[in-house]
Amino acid sequence: MRFVDEVKIWVEAGEGGNGCVSFRREKYVPRGGPDGGDGGRGGDVVLVVADKEPTLLDLSYQQYYKAGRGQHGKGKLQHGKRGETREIFVPKGTIVRDVETDDIVQDLIHEGERCVVARGGRGGKGNAHFKSSTNQAPKIAQEGGKGGKRRLKLELKLLADVGIVGLPNAGKSTLLSRISAAHPKVASYPFTTLTPHLGVVSADDSEGFVVADIPGIIEGAHQGAGLGLRFLRHIERTNLLVIILDLGCIDPHDPGREYRIIIKELESYNSSLIQRPRVVALNKVDVMPSQKVAPEVISYYHDVAYPFVLISAVTGQGIGELLSLIRRRTAKEL
Ligand SMILES: Nc1nc2c(ncn2[C@@H]2O[C@H](COP(=O)(O)OP(=O)(O)OP(=O)(O)O)[C@@H](O)[C@H]2O)c(=O)[nH]1
Ligand SMILES: [Mg+2]
C-alpha cells in the first residue's frame, strides 16, 4: 500500500438556504400576516480522526470536498433543513494547515477528535422576521450566507515514543520486528524499508510504547541523496531516538564516521532532533563477538555517544539491556 503523508485539499462548506417570502392564506383569515420560514444553515466540513486510516492515501484521490447546502425556507413558517455535514476521515497525527496563511489550524491526535475546517453559511431569514408596525406585509427575505471555503495542507507526522534511525542495512527493521509484533520487510540490501512502520513494545509492569522504524538515511540525504530526509518528520514527535549502527561497517581507525553522518543529517533536518535523548545500539554483535570489537570503537562510543549498547537484533543479545535503557531514558516522558 502506498504511504502518503502530505496532501492538499479544497474544502467548501454548504451555503445557507434562502429565507422565504410568503403570506398566510386561509379561509376566513383575511390578510393573514407574513409566514415565510427561514433557510437552513449550510453543512460544515469536518475532519475526523479515525484509526482505520493509516495514511492520507484516500485523500490523495480526491481533492475537493463540499458539504450540503441548507434547504430554503417555506410558507407556513416552515424552516429549511440544515445542510448535510461532510466528514473527512484522517489518521492520528494529522497536522492541518491553511495553505494561504501557513498557520496550523489543528493538530489532530486522538481517535474520534473532530475539527470544523469550513463553517456552513447561515440560513436566510424568512419574511416573518421583517414584520414591523410600519410594514405589516414585508415582501423581503434574506438570502442564505455563503459557506466558508479554504485550501488545506494535511501533513501526517506519526505518533511514536521512540524512533529508530540509522544508515541503510543497519538492522532497523530487524530490531523493530524483534521488539514488537510488527513485521517490516528485512533484506540484505539498502533501502529495503521505503515507508515508516510502527510497532508497539508491550511490557508487563508498565505501559507499552510505540516505536517507529523509518527508511535508512545516507550522507547527503539533506541534499536529496537516497530517499532524502522527508521521513524524519515521522520521528519528530518521539521522546527518544535509537541510533543503530552496523558494527561490521565501523572502521576502528575512524569509529565515529557513520555516527557523525547520522547526527549531521538529523541536525540538517531539524536541529532540535540532536537535543533529543538518544541511545546508540551497535548491532550485529553476533558476527563480531563483543570481545573482538576494537577497543577504539568501545572507547569512542563510551566518550562520545554514551549510553550505548552492543546488540544483535537477530539473536536477541543485548536487546533486554537496550529496552531497559530506553525505558529509563524515557521514564520522565512516557
Ligand atoms: N548477523 C546479523 N545480521 C543482521 C542483524 N540485524 C540485521 N541483520 C541483517 O542485516 C540486513 C539488513 O537488515 P534490515 O533490518 O533490513 O536493515 P534496515 O536498517 O531496516 O535497512 P533499510 O530498511 O534498507 O534501511 C538483513 O540481511 C538482516 O538480516 C544482526 O543483529 N546480526
Ligand atoms: Mg528497514
Domain ranges in the chain are 1-156, 162-330
pLDDT of 334 > 50? The answer is: no
Q: Taking the CA atoms of the chain, what radius of gyration do you get in angstroms?
A: 30
pLDDT of 200 > 80? The answer is: yes
Q: What angle do CA 266, 268, 273 make, to 5 degrees?
A: 40
- Closest ligand (CA of 287): 1
User: What kind of fold does domain 1-156 have according to CATH?
Assistant: Spo0b-associated Gtp-binding Protein; Chain: A, (2.70.210)
pLDDT, position 315:
96
Span 100-145, pLDDT tens digits: 999 999 999 999 999 999 999 999 999 999 998 898 889 999 999 9
* Strand intervals (E) in the chain: 6-12, 45-49, 64-66, 86-90, 94-98, 104-108, 114-118, 149-156, 162-166, 197-201, 209-213, 240-246, 278-283, 308-310
Is it true that the peptide bond before 307 is cis, omega within 30 degrees of 0? yes
Q: Which atom of ligand 1 is nearest to the CA of 312?
A: 31
Domain 162-330, architecture per CATH: 3-Layer(aba) Sandwich (3.40)
pLDDT, position 1:
62
- State whether residue 211 is helix, strand or coil: strand
Probe target for ligand 1 pocket from 174, 193, 195, with the most ligand atoms within 8 Å of CB: 174
Ligand 1 centre from 104 Cα, in Å? 38
Q: Which atom of ligand 1 is nearest to the CA of 168?
A: 25
pLDDT, position 140:
93
Ligand 1 centre from 246 Cα, in Å? 8
User: Which amino acid is it at 188?
Assistant: S
pTM for the model: 0.85
The single residue listed with the C-alpha cell 480522526 is 49
Ligand 2 centre from 74 Cα, in Å? 63
Write out residues with Cβ below 6 Å of ligand 1.
166, 168-174, 186-188, 190-193, 215-216, 283-284, 286-287, 312-314
pLDDT, position 333:
44
